[in-house]
Structure formats: structure tokens, C-alpha cells
Amino acid sequence: MTFTPTRRSILGAAALSVPTLALASCGGGEAERNAEGKIELTMAAWSIATTPEFDVIVDGFEAANPDATIVLKEYSADDYDTQLTTDLSANSAPDVFPLKNLEQYFYYQSNGALADLTDQASSLREDGNIELDLLDLDGGIYALPYRQDSWVVYYNKEMFAAAGIDEPDGSWTWDDFADMAEELTGALEGTDYQAKGAYMHNWQSIVQSFALAQTDGADLASGDLSYMAPYYERLLAMQDAGSTETFSTVDSQSLSYQAQFGTQKAAMMPMGTWYIGTLLAQRESGDADEFEWGMAPAPQQTSGAGPITFGDPTTLAINAELSGEKLEAAQSFLDYIVSEDCSKALAEIGITPSYFSDDVVDTIFSLDGMPDDDLSRTSFADTQVEAENPIGEFTNDIVTILEDTHSEILTESSPVDVALTKAEEQLDNEGLTA
């Protein structure tokens, strides 16, 4: 198999020394069973010691399939795609491997790295408890999700009470959110809390992906970025009002969103549901304070819309080179990761799984430290989730350009309209628009 790296992968590879992985069996061509007579699969992973989800899904599968075993192969969390691309090019990649998000999905599939799972996914399409539409690539499915995070607003119930302000009711627009952040900032000055009304992290998705998800007809590859303008103008106004830390402060001081909310430096914070497990663990370890908190749906651009939010699935793909017993074992493994049993096991450690049923939602909300109000449950389990960025040939390159645009706007180096026009011209000049 010849794998053509993406532009980002080529750039990253120049500065990265990629270790050679010693794989028990690559590509399904040799030693279908190990010395114990088990079918052995290798699986890519990252930060294994601090990412318990990998052991959870492997242990659950092996318990249900004693004839198979899975060996985890650790990659760098920061350079995962670069290293995986290198191993795919060398035909030495693991048998199954996660895709962190949808940004690289097109490239892996178009280069023939992913086994076609369309037939395997057909029955899942009929099951309302799991969402596959985000993974549809020209009618085909080439990876299956084991988790499906989405963005919500975390809020500190005790700060709202101290400020004498009503908690979110699930109907907020982004203008309401901005107004509330300013009101909270002022009201909290007379309390024991030294906090801002909101914390907006410095990722581009916090502006661009909400704008894309919540704007009818918006298309990242259309060459028209004007739909992002009101979202940027609003955030700039929040920075000027002092109701959130500025982009420059977040960047220069390397502020962590976990500390900003977990140690009560902000009353509200838009963030993905992956933060649930982190917050619960940090409360237990003492790295986060203990306080009453909740979740509200992502605010909307217009009143009465949605709730529409965004979030990419985290998926597992099968190496397209697999065949025979190893391919069958890999397919069984993917059947397991989309099952209710696997999702309940992930929910038990605070991970947002891919299979949503009442039992799964009950499992995660039964964890110690979780909120117990209806709005938090609805925000977690009942929203329309759009892709963080759409699947497409040029998505990775477009996102790279828009990262610079994001920084340029929020550091106030250029006015919003000037920066967006400049980005539109660059996308057009580089042939990245439809």
C-alpha cells in the first residue's frame, strides 16, 4: 500500500524522528495466532497511562472474546497522525487504529488505508442509539465511533447563586451568553469569588465550528467566511468588557481550561463533554475544587433554534491490508466498541461513548460528582451534533489557514472583515475552495 502524506504530515515529518515500532504481525500476512493460540491484533494508542479508555475497550473485548488478544502500541499524542502516516507508508502500521477526529478521515480513506466498513455499519444505521452520518463519505463508512463528544456550556451553580442570578434555562442565544458573562463578572466582584463570568479557550473551534454548525448553508470550502463575523465580533466585545480572559492572555500564559473552570476562576465555560471525566478525576485528586456544577446546551445564534452544537466522533479503523482471521477478529472488535456494553463501560469512567441509551446515560449520571438536574442530562444526551469540520479533500489545509485567521482577529491585529477577506483570498489563490 502506498500512502501519500498530507501537507501537514510532510511538514511535521521533517522535524520529527519517528521510532520504529516492533509489531507482532503487520498487514495480516503472517502468524495469524500467537504462541498461546490466540488471534493477536495490534492497536495504536496514545498516552496509555493517562488515557484509561484504551484499556477499558480492550479488556472488555478480550473478556467477551477469549480467543483474541489486543496489544496496544503507543504513539505520541501530539504527533499521532504524523507517526501513523509514516508507519502506513512503510506498511508497518497496527491492525486497528483510532482516528482522533474527522480532519484526516478523507486522507486516510482516499489513500486506501482504511478497510471498507459500509456493510458492517449497515445495521447500525437502523439503530437510533448510535450516529454514523458524520462518518458518511460518498455513501461509505470507513471507521466506527467508540466515543461521541459534543460541546456544552459548563457552569458553576454556586457562583450563580452567589451573584443572585438565575441559572441557564437552555434557551440562551450567544448574545444572552455574552450579556450573562458580563453581568456575572460584575456581580461576583462583591463576593468571595475572584472570577470572570466566562472562560473562552483559545482554540479556533470555539468560534469557527460553532459558526459553521449553527449557520444555515455555511460551507467551509465555499470560499465565503462572512458567517463567522458575528461570532468573532461578539467574542471581541467580551474581551473588551473583561468578562473573559483575552486570547493573548490565554496564549501567553498557557492557561488551561481545566484549571480555569475546575479551580473556579470562571463561572461558565463552553467545552466538550470529554471534560466530564477530567473534572470528576481532578475533584477526586484535589486538582479541582468541589462545587456544584451543571451543563447547559450550547447557546444558539438565533432565539428558538437548536439546540445545535458540534463535536467529532473518535473512531477506530481497520488497516486495509488485513485479511483472514485477523480481519474477522478486527471486525468483531469494532462490533464491540459500538455496543451498549462497551459504551456503559466507558460511561463508568466518565467518557462520552458512541452508543446513547437510557442505561448508558444513567450510568454516566450516576457517577460521584455528576449533576442531577434535567437540563444537564438533556444537554449531554439530546442535542443535534454537527461535525467540528466537514469531511473533505482540503479540510485540513483550510483549517490550517483559518488557525492564523483566528489568532489575527482575536489579538486585534486586523479587523474582523479584513482578516476574513484575507483568508478568503488565500483559500481561493491556493485552489482550496469548491
Cell match 473478556: residue? 63
Distance of CA 375 to CAs 168, 170, 213, 294, 383, Å? 9, 7, 21, 8, 11
C-alpha cell at 285: 485528586
- The alpha carbon of residue 63 and the mean position of all alpha carbons in its chain are separated, in whole angstroms, by 28
Distance of CA 152 to CAs 274, 276, 298, 355, 366, Å? 10, 11, 5, 18, 19
Closest by Cα among 305, 154, 272 to 205: 272
Q: What are phi and psi of 35, to 5 degrees?
A: -65, -25
Q: What are phi and psi of 140, to 5 degrees?
A: -110, 155
Q: What pLDDT is attached to residue 198?
A: 98
Residue type, 278: T
The set of residues, in sequence order, having a beta carbon less than 8 Å from that of 108 and lying 6+ positions away, is: 88, 99, 114, 142, 317
- Other Cβ atoms closer than 10 A to 122: 11
Residue type, 399: V
The dihedral built from the CA positions of residue 362, 366, 369 and 371, taken in this order, carries a sign that is positive
Q: What are phi and psi of 75, to 5 degrees?
A: -115, 165
The set of residues, in sequence order, having a beta carbon less than 8 Å from that of 194 and lying 6+ positions away, is: 188, 265
Half-sphere exposure of 88 (CA within 13 A, CB side): 27
Q: What is the pTM of this model?
A: 0.89
- Other Cβ atoms closer than 10 A to 320: 22
CA angle 65, 47, 282 (to 5 degrees): 105
Q: What pLDDT is attached to residue 3?
A: 45
Asked if 168 and 375 count as a contact pair (C-beta separation under 8 A), the reply is yes
Asked if 143 and 99 count as a contact pair (C-beta separation under 8 A), the reply is yes
The dihedral built from the CA positions of residue 119, 274, 107 and 383, taken in this order, carries a sign that is positive
Tell me what percent of the chain is helix, strand and coil, each rounded to the nearest 5. Answer: 45, 15, 40
Would you give per-residue pLDDT tens digits along the chain (434 residues)? 544 433 223 223 322 222 222 333 344 444 578 888 899 999 999 999 989 999 999 999 999 999 999 999 999 999 999 999 999 999 999 999 999 989 899 999 999 999 999 999 988 877 778 889 999 999 999 999 999 999 999 999 999 999 999 999 999 999 999 999 999 999 999 899 999 999 999 999 999 999 999 999 999 989 999 999 999 999 999 999 999 999 999 999 999 999 999 999 999 999 999 999 999 999 999 999 999 999 999 999 999 887 999 999 999 999 999 999 999 999 999 999 999 999 999 999 999 999 999 999 999 999 999 999 999 999 999 999 999 998 999 999 999 999 999 999 999 999 999 999 999 999 999 999 87
Alpha-carbon distance 360 to 348, whole Å?
Answer: 9
Q: What pLDDT is attached to residue 347?
A: 97
Q: What pLDDT is attached to residue 12?
A: 30
Closest by Cα among 43, 28, 105, 114 to 74: 43
